[in-house]
Structures are given as structure tokens and as C-alpha cells.
A and B are shown apart, each in its own frame.
Chain A
Amino acid sequence: MAADLNIFITEETIEGGDAEGDDAPLADVTLAVKDNISTAGIRTTCGSEMLADYVPPYSATVVDRLTEAGATVVGKTNMDQFGMGTTTETSAFGPTRNPVDTDRVPGGSSGGSAAAVAAGEADIALGSDTGGSVRCPAAFCGVVGIKPTYGLVSRYGLVAYANSLEQIGPIAGTVEEAAAALDVMAGPDPNDGTTRDLSEVEGADPDASYAAAADGDVEGMTVGVPTELFEGADERVVETVEDALADLEAQGAETTEISLPSVEHAVQAYYVIAMAEASSNLARFDGVRYGHRSESDGNWNESFAETRDEGFGAEVKRRILLGTYALSAGYHDKYYEKAQDARAWVRRDFEDAFDDVDVIASPTMPVLPFELGESLDDPLRMYLADANTTPVNLANLPAVSVPAGEADGLPVGLQLVGPKFDEETIVRAASAVEDE
């Protein structure tokens, strides 16, 4: 079964630590790890030929924390090459299939991780979310995915794609299980200067227990429903999400229509910023210190260019080139600076909205899972599918995708976004959705 779905790139085990009692909240839990998260001694390919034989000398902080808490790593999961994609079809190791419907994609870029949970191959899986890459596959595979607030979870050991946007997040079958993993993963890391100590963050609760927040109690909670994130979405998706919101109301939550005018520009801003950061981050892949190296006998520049031609797939080249273009002389102000303006605008829009509501709800993905091959030749179409998830990364906010139900037998995800470092509220709201 698993082989047909192409969930794992590498199946090797890291045994969980022998912690006991309160120190072992994840004893007997199996963990699948996206293949852009480093595992000492186990190859970490990023779904790319470039790193097909790369074996990291250290593990990511999140992997150490989860295994110390008792979790056993069972394998490294398939992904869009370097995290660039919305379908897990850009992997150099072939596409992953959606366990719910094997003619369809599992979403991306953490498609292998979501499929591992949906297929019962792991209890918890780690993904990375730069523009929606945890929430999208969670939605398409009918499981739960949490994208934490920027700075809550260490990125040490995550192979960088777009540093200012990405966070590692847990995927699981239930909100409580995902939240329990987040409890273990979260917290400051001396190896990542962008992690925050919650005791120093105004309004944050350093003693928060995310798993305990999965109590389903939404009595009196206000849920903002932004019209912009429903416009243009597939009708079947909208109906399923509206039913889930009606269920929340029946449980005592109050929904109210809100407007986030800035989100209309989020996808453009996201791709400009992500591609710009990618063009810089991926400059490290020159084949000299690690990674694929071409047989070229040319000079440094020729050898470098040939190595990168052979090692990178089409989507990766596309983003490096567009990022280089957007940062180049004459275009920097037109694209990159404007994208930063849009980012600030999105952030302010959300802040204003959270003056009035506790969480913001929308479809996670505006579409049902794509059929395999459907979007590959049309990158712009694939980018547009990220309309509802990218604003969250631009604003550095926490969000969860929880199954809202099915349409035509396919899973539909409901996205709940919260204020910065208020993971407890989105977990609470999401747990009420899955109770129905």
C-alpha cells in the first residue's frame, strides 16, 4: 500500500528516547519527518536530485525534541522539491498519491507527511509551511495540520527555502494529537535566533498547553468570516465550510462577517518574497561542500551552472530565476519593495480584525484536491490555489487546517487563524469543528 502511494523517500528508524512519565508524552508514537528536516545519519534529500545522497551530520532541533519525548521516527516523507509546490508532484522521487483517492494529489509541499498520517503509516508527521505547505496537504488528505506562529518553533536543521515565512508544523489525525506534538516542539532554541521566549512576549502564555486547549469549548468565541477568502472558491468547498461554521454556531460560537481587503494581493506578495529569498538561499548549492556535483571540467561559474542545471527540477529553477529577476537592478522597487508593502498591509489588516474577533475562519484551499498532472504545466494556476493560506505566513500568524467534511467524497479543510502566539484559541476552535 505505502509503496504505491510513494509516501516515503527513505524508510529508516530513529528510536525514541527512554524518557519516562511526564517527560515521555509521545511514548509509542510514530513520527514521519518531511525530507527537508535534517536527521543525523539519515539522508535528507529535499525531494531533489541535488541532495539525493546528502547525509546531515546533525538533527533538527524539532527531531531531537520529539524523539527525546519518546516518538520513534519511521521515515522521511516525500515532498515538492525544496518545498516548492502545492501538489507533491515536483519531487525528483515521483509524486505521492492521495490515500483518500489515489488518482489525486495529496497537496503540497508536505504531501508525503499528510499522506503518511492519512494512510496510517505514522501517528504524527512533520511538515514545513512557507505559504501553506502544512495546511494544504492536511486539507487535501483529510487530516489536521498546524502552522505555528513565526518564532514559536525552531527552524534549526530545516533546509531553508524562504526564512522569513516558514515554520515547521505538526500533522496528525486529531487536533489533540497535533497539539501534543506542538507542545513538545515549541520553545526557544539557542541555535535559532528567530525563536522567541514566550515569557518575554507581551500577551503570550509561556505555560500554555496546546493539547489541553483541545477541549471543544467555543461558547462565546467570536469567529470572523472574511468574504474575500470565500470569493472564487469552489461552491462545494464553500458549502462544506459553511456547514462546519453553522456547527460551531450551534455550539455557542458567534460568527461575524469581516473584510480583509489586503489579502487580494497576498499571493503575489508571497511569491515575490518567497522567490527572492529562495534565489538567495539556494545559492549555497554549488556542488562543492555537499550535494550533487556535475562532471563539468569548466571553470567555477560553468561548473556551478551545470551542477545546478542537473540538480534542480523545473519548479526550483523557475523560482530561483524569478527571484533573481525580482531582485535585479530596475525591478527591485517594482516587485520586492511593493511586496514588502503588501506584507505590512496584510499584517495590519489581520491585527485590526483581531480587535473584534477571536479567530478567523475560511476554506483552507479554495479547490478540491487536484487530479495528478492537472496543474503541472500551468504554474500560475498552482500558485493561485494558495490564496487562502499565504496571507497567514505574510502576517507570521498561527493557523490550523481541520477537516470540515467531504464534498463529492473528497476532504475539505477549514482554516482557523489566530492572533500571534495564540495557538490555544485556534486549537480550541478546531477541536470543536472535529467534534461534529
Chain B
Amino acid sequence: MSDTAASDDGDGPAVDAEEVRHVAELARVRLDDDEVDEFAAQFGDILEYFEALDEVPETEREEELVNVMRPDEIEEGLSQEAALRNADETEDGFFVGPKVS
């Protein structure tokens, strides 16, 4: 595997712990130090493998996309009670979230 994707373009696949921490912060996932180290090691291999995408020729993309519309009519939805039923904390018919700051 490793020989298909050698990269020397500077921003190659080596990933350090700092980078993993930064991405984890962007993704809002807390990691402990062991996980950070494990992921840093694994991400190097995986991203190096992804580098093989550099060999892909630019291809014209013909997306077969169509707009799907429906009439803007009021339909039955979930009741407030049903919508709140899985929430950990609710108050007066609202979801209660963590404090904002």
C-alpha cells in the first residue's frame, strides 16, 4: 500500500497530535491523550492511502439532478409531546440545552 501513495509535496500525510486535536475540536469530539496518539498514527496511514486520489484524472461530472418539489401544504407532523419524548431535559414544552457561554 505505502508505495502507491508516496508524497513529497510538503503538506503530505504525516499527522501530528496537534492536528488531531485541532480537527477534534472542529468536530466537537473530546478525545483523551491515548486516542489522540492512536489516531495520529492511524491517520498518517489512511491519509497516505487517500493520496492515491492524486492519480485520478479530472473527469467531467454529469450529475443527474432534478428538483423535487411538493405543494406547500400543511401536513400532520409530530405532536409536541412526541417530539420532546427522547430529550434528556425539557421545560414548558421546550428542549433544555447546555449553557451558551
Contact = CB atoms under 8 A, between A and B. Distances in A.
Interface string A302-313: 111110110010
Given A293-B88, A299-B100, A344-B60, A305 B29 contact: yes
B31 A380 contact: no
Given A290-B87, A291-B86, A321-B39, A380 B1 contact: yes
The DSSP consensus for interface residues of chain B is: loop
A338 B87 contact: no
Interface stretch (A6-14, A63-71, A173-181, A266-274): A266-274
B74 interface: no
Contact of B53 (A55, A272, A293, A298): A272
A309 B45 CA distance: 23
Contacts of A194: 68
Nearest to A304: B28
B11 interface: yes
A301 B27 CA distance: 10
Contacts of B83: 57, 289
A345 B39 contact: no
A287 interface: yes
Interface in B22-36: 23-32, 35
Contact of A265 (B55, B68, B97): B55
Interface string B59-100: 111100000101000000010001101111100000111111
Given A309-B30, A320-B29, A338 B68 contact: no
Contacts of A252: none
Contacts of A271: 46, 50
Contacts of B43: 321-322, 325
A265 B53 contact: yes
Contacts of A341: 53, 56-59, 61
B52 interface: yes
A303 B98 contact: yes
A339 B53 contact: yes
Given A265-B52, A339-B53, A309 B31 contact: yes
B29 A325 contact: no
Contacts of B24: 305, 317, 321
Contact of B59 (A286, A348, A384): A348
B78 A328 contact: no
A308 to B, nearest CB: 5
B50 A321 contact: no
Nearest to B20: A321
Interface residues of B, number: 51
Nearest to A335: B50
Contacts of B60: 344
A342 B39 contact: no
B78 A298 contact: no
A354 to B, nearest CB: 15
Among B24, B31, B78, B85: residue with most chain A CB under 10 A: B24
Nearest to B79: A57
A133 to B, nearest CB: 19
B16 to A, nearest CB: 13
Given A271-B50, A272-B53, A317-B29, A300 B23 contact: no
Contact of B31 (A190, A296, A317): A317
Given A57-B83, A340-B61, A321 B56 contact: no
Contact of A338 (B25, B53, B97): B53
B3 interface: no
Contacts of B27: 279, 308, 320-321, 324
Nearest to A384: B1
B58 to A, nearest CB: 6
A102 to B, nearest CB: 29
B53 A324 contact: no
Contacts of B57: 341, 345
A300 B100 contact: yes
A299 B98 contact: yes
Given A288-B95, A345-B59, 20 more contacts: A57-B78, A57-B82, A265-B56, A272-B50, A289-B87, A299-B99, A299-B100, A305-B29, A308-B28, A312-B29, A314-B35, A318-B39, A325-B19, A328-B26, A334-B11, A335-B53, A338-B53, A348-B59, A380-B42, A383-B46
Interface of B: 1, 11, 19-20, 23-32, 35, 39, 42-43, 45-47, 49-50, 52-62, 68, 70, 78, 82-83, 85-89, 95-101
16 contacts: A53-B86, A55-B85, A55-B86, A57-B82, A193-B68, A272-B53, A290-B87, A300-B101, A302-B98, A317-B31, A318-B42, A322-B47, A324-B23, A328-B23, A341-B57, A342-B59
